[in-house]
Structure 1
Amino acid sequence: MPPRPVAAAERKICLIATEESGDRLGAALMKVLRQRLGDAVQFSGVGGRGMAREGISSLFPIEELSIIGLAAVVTQLPKILRLIRLTADAVLDEAPDMLVIIDSPDFTHRVARRVRARNPKIPIVDYVSPSVWAWRPGRARTMRSYVDHVLALLPFEPEEYRKLQGPPCSYVGHPLTEQLASLRPNAQEQAWRDAELPVVLVLPGSRRSEIRHHLALFGAALGQLSDRTKFELVLPTMSHLEAIVREGVKTWPIAPRIAVGEAEKRAAFRLARAALAKSGTVTLELALAGVPMVTAYRVGAAEAFILRRAIRVSSVILANLVIGSEVIPEFLQEDCTPENLAQALGEVLADSSARQRQLEAFATLDAKMSTGNQPPSVRAADIVLATMGRRSG
């Protein structure tokens, strides 16, 4: 099908996001871009429900790429490669004024490299930096050949790109900084945090494989902790994971209340005194909510072998990296034992020096992550439009 005629003043912007978190960023960015450009913008690409509401008809459902784990990637490789080719060909056929790739670097960067090789005139912005500061730092310099600007969610990332000789990188802010009111307790909710029967959050992960690796381990740790102290247990999850979570907690010695959906999760964050969480973005969410935590992460043996040799930072906890200090304890692989987790969680649940250190560190986050009065989506849109103007000028 030939492309439809484009008005002289119209801008064509292609965005590619293959995960729900990226879809949320893409939708917010599209909303601001439409505010700036009005009817003179046409969107295309790949996205989820949020981006669809803002005007994208996705090339394929992003659920087709809900893959995690080395074994899963290997078995799905032909399908992944086919979708990469499909997406790159669609971008090249559209010949947009801008390509914005959003997170999911194993997919989006392969698309970007194909597009740059065949049409170097298309400007490319990468929204959400790959973790070049944690592993495979050489990627930063390689990105210079196919990325014009990186939009960073974490405040320390621009300096890392400078040191690693990567493309220009700007801190635009983390979307969590726009959601503080829904994360932090009011006076009544704060009283719940200090109640005689405190609320403990348990967060085993947002993917099926993560839940499989962590659920039994977390249950055993919480069972040990419940032998010496009393607490109410809340496990937030999403509706598509509710069945597997409910089945997995049936054997737990202490039954959690299952909180389903984002609104119930945020309500639980505002009440919680402490948390046991899988490493990931949720650690930053908990820190901004002022919830002291213990973190853990387990993967399969093959992935653990690779990661041990690749990771170049002393902590994989995002909150620790932003704070600049390892105040949040983390237990990885063989250190992930019920005994270790129960002991550490008991310390942050009590009025201890470990708990106080975390709370004092969390109090510095607002200043460290500040973007002034501009929301992240607005800062991101400004850079997208400026980059588009430079390349087309």
Structure 2
Amino acid sequence: MQARATANVARRLFLIATEESGDRLGANLMKVLRQRLGGAVQFEGIGGQSMAREGLVSLFPIEELSIIGLAAVAKQLPKILRLIRLTADAVMQSSPDILVIIDSPDFTHRVARRVRARDPSIPIVDYVSPSVWAWRPGRARAMRGYIDHVLALLPFEPEEYRRLHGPPCSYVGHPLTGQIGVLRPGIDEQKRRDAGPPVLLVLPGSRRSEINHHMAVFGKALGLLHAQDIPFELILPTMPHLQEAVGKSVKRWPVQPRIAIGEQEKRAAFRIARAALAKSGTVTLELALAGVPMVTAYRTGVAEAWILRRAINVKSVILANLVIGENVVPEFLQQDCTPEKLSQSLREVLDDSPLRRRQVEAFARLDAIMSIGSQPPGVRAADIVLATMRRSRRPN
């Protein structure tokens, strides 16, 4: 049943998204909420270009929070704290019918806690769960004090929140499930995927720090494959803002890739790829949904690595493995991320090996694992936001 505004009173929603992925989720949520409320809605908050196209005037540019790495965060801490205070004050001044925080928990949760302390009557929904199942599990129980509902992108997360005694959590679906049509090959693309030389994707990351950590070791691994006369056509998808940095790095590689720029070219490359070498992250789930077997790796700074080794409590950091429920994708982290180990596993996923066949069979189960029925993720998310808003006792 669609919720409708009554007496033409516009509902006021405050949304906070500080990264591009969250900005896209926020924009889609805004679009559905506007439809559900018959246009009687006002949006305020923080967002990027996608949310701006839906009518949001951001409190500040989200680029101000593009901070990666412990050293960078420490240096910018006064600025971050100032923006947290500014955002919480803006929420209080708005006095919205609901606050929706989207991902970026290091920022958004600090705002949410301040808002709950100052006005407990404002309902708060968290769209995209922090990784409580991977590290800092105590956060789940703590979130009960300031989060009314969590909208999960991954199917195993609601059970994790029940196990960890967190707030109510509902699986609304991952936005990637709506992109399957552009991730998977058509007839001609499948022919290219099966033909030689095989297309090998290289995905070193979407941040400059990740490029710095992965490009050299990836290049050496590919050089070992090339030296062994293993044929492959190399494609490296990246985004426009990283094109220059990537271009400089690949000049030192013994084999040169074709650089694919932007999301459209990236999707086209996925549809013809036989295998991939990828930095761990959301891209592993993207590749799995596309049916592309992969080898994954991750390197970070010494301080970050020390913290992560002691904090992470899952058997795999690979998102595709976690969703599937078994470790079908090999992962090489920190000191294990060597050219020799990467090249050996790449040989296996390029060949018709047991490792490759096991991944292909596991990836075929993802549609059933991640199914949410006929409703798109944005619609399910919007309906829960509205239901949470209706349950609150705030006056119209």
Indicate the TM-score class for this superposition, using the shorter chain for normalisation.
Answer: over 0.9
Tell me if 1:323 matches 2:324. Answer: yes
| 1:370-381 aligned within 5 A | 370-381=371-382
Q: What is the deviation of 1:71? A: 1.1
1-structure distance, mates of 2:299, 2:160? 27
Identify the residue that residue 12 of structure 2 maps to in structure 1.
12
Q: 1-side partners of 2:354 and 2:302: how far apart?
A: 35
- In structure 2, the residue matched to 1:85 is 85
Paired position in structure 2 for 1:3: none
The match for 1:367 is 368
Contact 2:99 2:124 in 1 (8 A): yes
In 1, Cα distance between equivalents of 2:50 and 2:8: 28
- For residues 262-281 of structure 1, the aligned pairs below 5 Å read 262-281=263-282
Structure 1 residues 210-221: aligned runs within 5 Å? 210-221=210-221
Q: Equivalent residue for 2:37? A: 37
CA contact (8 A) 1:123 1:391 kept: yes
Pair 1:166 & 2:182 matched: no
SS of the residue 1:64 aligns to: helix
CA-CA distance at 1:8 after TM superposition: 6.4
Distance across 2 between alignment mates of 1:317 and 1:174: 16
**CA–CA distance in structure 2, aligned partners of residues 316 and 134 of structure 1:** 8
TM-score by length of 2: 0.97
1:61 maps to 61
Once residues 36 and 352 of structure 2 are traced to their aligned partners in structure 1, the CA distance between those partners, rounded to angstroms, is 50
Show the counterpart of 1:182.
182
Does the 8 Å CA contact 2:8/2:40 hold for their aligned counterparts?
Answer: no
Give the aligned partner of residue 314 of structure 1: 315
CA distance in 1, matches of 2:249, 2:113: 41
Query: What CA deviation, in whole Å up to 9, does each residue of 1:56-96 have, x standing for no partner?
Result: 10011111111111111111111111111111110110000
- CA distance in structure 2 between the partners assigned to 1:183 and 1:128 by the alignment: 22
Write the deviation string for residues 211-233 of structure 1: whole angstroms up to 9, x where unpaired.
10001110110111112201110
Counterpart of 1:23 in structure 2 is: 23
CA contact (8 A) 2:11 2:42 kept: yes
The aligned runs of 1:112-191 (5 Å cut-off) are 112-191=112-191
Cα displacement (A) at 1:38:
2.3
Quick one: distance in 2 between partners of 1:166 and 1:8?
Answer: 36
Residue aligned with 1:392, SS: coil
The size of the alignment, in residue pairs, is 387
8 Å CA contact 1:97, 1:392 repeated in 2: no
Please report how far the alpha carbon of residue 17 of structure 1 lies from its aligned counterpart in structure 2 after TM superposition.
Answer: 0.2
Question: Conserved in 2, the CA contact under 8 Å of 1:91 and 1:115?
Answer: yes
1:294-330 per-position Cα deviation (integer Å, ceiling 9, x unaligned): 0000010000110000000010001000100000000
* Partner of residue 301, structure 1: 302
Gaps of 5+ in 2: 1-6
The residue type equivalent to 2:205 in the other structure is G
**Equivalent residues of 2:204, 2:211 under 8 A apart:** yes
Shift of 1:392: 3.0
Partners of 2:314 and 2:259 lie apart in 1 by 34
Deviations 1:181-229 (A, max 9, x none): 0000011101111112110000000000001000111011011111220
Deviations, residues 271-303 of structure 1 (Å, cap 9, x unaligned): 100000000000000000000000000010000
For the residue of structure 2 that corresponds to 1:385, the secondary structure is: helix
Aligned to 1:284: 285
Provide the residue aligned with 1:259 in structure 2: 260
SS at match of 2:392: helix
When the two structures are superposed, what TM-score results if normalisation uses the length of structure 1?
0.98
On the 8 A contact 1:235/1:259 being kept in 2, the answer is: yes
Q: Distance in 2 between matches of 1:301 and 1:254?
A: 29
Structure 1 window deviating more from structure 2 (167-176 vs 32-41): it is 32-41
One-letter amino acid of the structure 2 residue matched with residue 293 of structure 1: M
CA distance in 2, matches of 1:43, 1:261: 29
Corresponding residue of 1:70? 70
Instruction: Quote how far apart the aligned CAs of 1:31 are.
Output: 0.3
| Contact 1:199–1:231 (8 Å) recurs in 2 | yes
The separation in 1 between residues aligned to 2:156 and 2:383, in whole angstroms, is 20
CA distance in 2, matches of 1:338, 1:67: 29
Separation in structure 2 between the aligned mates of residue 151 and residue 327 of structure 1, nearest angstrom: 27
Q: Deviations over 1:119-175 (max 9, x none)?
A: 111000000000000000000000000000000000000000000000000000000
Aligned twin of 1:51: 51
Contact 1:200-1:232 within 8 A present in 2 as well: yes
Contact persistence 1:275–1:294 (CA under 8 A): yes
| CA apart distance, 1:39 | 2.6
Asked if 1 retains the 8 angstrom alpha-carbon contact of 2:124 and 2:147, the reply is yes
Tell me the SS of whatever aligns to 2:136: coil
Q: Which SS does the other structure have where 1:179 is aligned?
A: helix
Structure 1 residue 361: Cα displacement:
0.1
Moved over 2 A (4+): none
| 3-state secondary structure, aligned to 1:77 | helix
Give the superposed CA RMSD: 0.8
The one-letter code matched in structure 2 to 1:354 is L
Residue 149 of structure 1 contacts residue 167 of structure 1 at CA under 8 Å; is this kept in 2? yes
* Same amino acid, percent of matched pairs: 76
Q: Secondary structure at the match of 2:373?
A: coil
Aligned position for 1:351: 352
What are the within-5 Å matches in structure 2 for residues 184-263 of structure 1?
A: 184-228=184-228, 229-263=230-264
- What is the rounded CA distance, in whole Å, between the counterparts of 1:103 and 1:48 in structure 2? 13
